[in-house]
Structure 1
Amino acid sequence: MAEARSISRDRKEIDRADANRPVRIRKIGVGDLRQALAQGLDDFAQQPSHLVFLGLIYPIVGFLLARASMDGEWVMLLFPIMAGFALVGPFAAIGIYEISRRREQGLDTSWRHAFDVLRSPSRLSILLLGVLLMLLFVAWLAAALVIYRRTLGFYEPAGIMELVGQVLTTRAGWALLIVGNGVGFVFAAGVLAISVVSFPLLLDRRVDAFTAMGASLRAVGANPGPMALWGLIVAAALVAGSIPFFVGLAVAVPVLGHATWHLYRKVVER
């Protein structure tokens, strides 16, 4: 009992030290991005079957949402749903970050440990930040629907190919593409700014959600070029993984998740 109390007291002292210690941000370059991606691929290669299992959650949910949107009048939301995956990706990959963290420390990396985040001291902050990203995802879908109504009105396509033809061959369709991509870029840039290192930081140290988001904003401010390139890499990987039928996300999401952890290690001082 005395030993347990001592361990608990030591844990609380470490947590207080974590909370009081400033989060220091480093400058990185393109070479660091390449190295983070290589390390992410290496993590994935160690246990690909386990990580594909975890990654399957992502494409299955995406497929179900897309399938639901293809029924009736909601077919116009298929593309916003696909694009919006980048908004919830940092939260969806939280278990992947945990696997990389454990491998870094030489601990067991069985897929079951991805759920250890449920016992993390920062789990409430992780949940709060996750809810924020989900709200941004919903806000993006609402904005996309408004843009659709403002450009194509109440036109309801019979299917995907008819919608694609309408978008690519009419002035209203081009307006939809330009305005929609512009607004989507603003959402994606905002999510990147507040989440690029915040979730790994919450797993690594006991800080609150606002401290984590502040550190992420400072990381982007200190490294605008590399972070912009990182955002493009993530977006390209998610788009490629979504074609066809979201199957590739079972690989893209774990690799990006591992790489994000290693990017965090390069940006935030230990």
Structure 2
Amino acid sequence: MTIRNPVEWSAEQVRLTFNAARAVGAAFVPPREAMSAPMPRARHITYGDLWDSLRRGMSDFGACRSDIVFICVVYPLAGLVLARIALGYGMWPLLFPLVSGFALIGPFAAAGLYEMSRRREQGLPLSWRDGFKVFASPSLAPMLELGLVLTLIFGLWLVAAMAIYAATLGPQMPASLAAFADDVFTTPAGWALIVFGVSVGAVFAVVVLTISVVSFPLLIDRRVSMGTAVRASMDVVLLNPMPMLAWGLIVAGALLLGALPGLIGLIVVMPVLGHATWHLYRKAVR
């Protein structure tokens, strides 16, 4: 079995996914004239803004009790998915793609956290239940449309990861986690798997960062279309390429640290990153 150039293949699949999602979402997205907010403008941000956003995110985490949302929803779901795949099917090669790929749908999963930060910023009454008020937002349709795009990208990442595994170590599933680790870290084919996997994963991560870094907070804050939100996110990344790259690395590093202790750390890491993203949006978009 052979695979195409990873970057070329990934870019093509992401483009097809985006077009398909736009076609599906067109049936329920509000008319353009209903989205009355003016076009958002990107601002220059600094590395200091990143750290200030994280500081504010930690403050929101302490005040909003957003840990409850993730204890009740995100962490159990992630654990059930991983347990079902790893124990039920013995598909050890999908463990890392599943855990790392959570970052691809994280911007959508954190929508409730943006709403909680928005309410706290405006001095509104606040409880963890307010995170679910995002489902009553006038911009729910475009949020769901963009969420569908991210979910499809996540699915494509899993398909790509399995294709890379089959092309390097073969289609046969390993007998155990220990056997899989031995194949990955002690054989040339395993090293090739790491190189191709990280390269393709980076492509998916950059695409998601570019189209969604401020899109969901913007959709919650203003009545704009999905296309407008995505364009604004792309403008922010293009105007601030190095700070945005640094933000992506911060997110990746934090998720890695949170995932190491059996995913338990994500109970803290995910809410802090979600709240911090709201404050980054406020700094990056006017």
User: Could you state the TM-score of these two structures normalised by the residue count of structure 1?
Assistant: 0.91
Q: CA RMSD in A?
A: 1.5
1:169 maps to 186
Q: What secondary structure sits across from 1:19 in the alignment?
A: coil
The answer to whether the 8 A contact 1:63-1:245 is kept is no
Are residues 1:26 and 2:26 paired? no
In structure 1, the partner of 2:211 is: 194
Question: Which ranges of structure 2 fall in alignment gaps of 5 or more residues?
Answer: 1-31
Q: 2:163 is matched with which residue?
A: 146
Q: What does 1:33-72 align with in structure 2 at a 5 Å threshold?
A: 33-47=50-64, 50-56=65-71, 57-71=73-87, 72=89
Tell whether the 8 Å contact from 2:37 to 2:222 is kept in structure 1 after alignment.
no
Q: Using the TM superposition, give the Cα deviation of residue 158 of structure 1 relative to its aligned residue in structure 2, in angstroms.
A: 2.2
In the other structure, the counterpart of 1:178 is 195
Between the aligned partners of 1:259 and 1:53, the Cα distance in structure 2 is 17
Q: Quick check: 1:70–1:159 contact (8 Å CA) kept in 2?
A: no
Q: Distance in 2 between matches of 1:255 and 1:109?
A: 17
Q: CA deviation at 1:61?
A: 1.6
**How far has the Cα of 1:155 moved from its partner?**
3.1
How far the C-alpha of 1:161 sits from its partner, in A, is 2.2
Aligned pairs for 1:1-270 (under 5 A) are 19-47=36-64, 50-56=65-71, 57-71=73-87, 72-269=89-286
CA contact (8 A) 2:90 2:176 kept: no
Using structure 2 for the length normalisation, give the TM-score: 0.86
Q: Aligned with 1:108: secondary structure? A: coil
- Letter matched to residue 84 of structure 2: A
- Uncovered stretches (5+) of structure 1, i.e. residues with no partner: 1-14
- State the match for 2:23 in structure 1: none
More displaced 10-residue stretch of structure 1: 226-235 or 151-160: 151-160
Q: Distance in 1 between matches of 2:177 and 2:45?
A: 42
* Structure 1 contact 69–76 (Cα < 8 Å) conserved: no
2: CA distance, partners of 1:96 / 1:20: 22
Deviation at 1:255, TM superposition (A): 0.3
Which of the two has higher C-alpha Rg? Answer: 1
Amino acid at match of 1:61: L
CA displacement at 1:154 relative to structure 2: 2.2
Output the CA distance in 1 between the equivalents of 2:229 and 2:265: 30
- What's the CA shift string for 1:5-56, capped at 9, x where partnerless? xxxxxxxxxx979635121110001000010000001111113xx3111122
Task: Assess if the C-alpha contact under 8 Å between 2:56 and 2:276 holds in 1.
Answer: yes
Deviations 1:125-181 (A, max 9, x none): 000000110000000000000000000002322222221111000000000000000
Identity of aligned residues (%): 50
Q: Distance in 1 between matches of 2:278 and 2:117?
A: 7
Q: Which amino acid aligns with 2:259?
A: S
Distance 2:219 2:245 in 1: 22
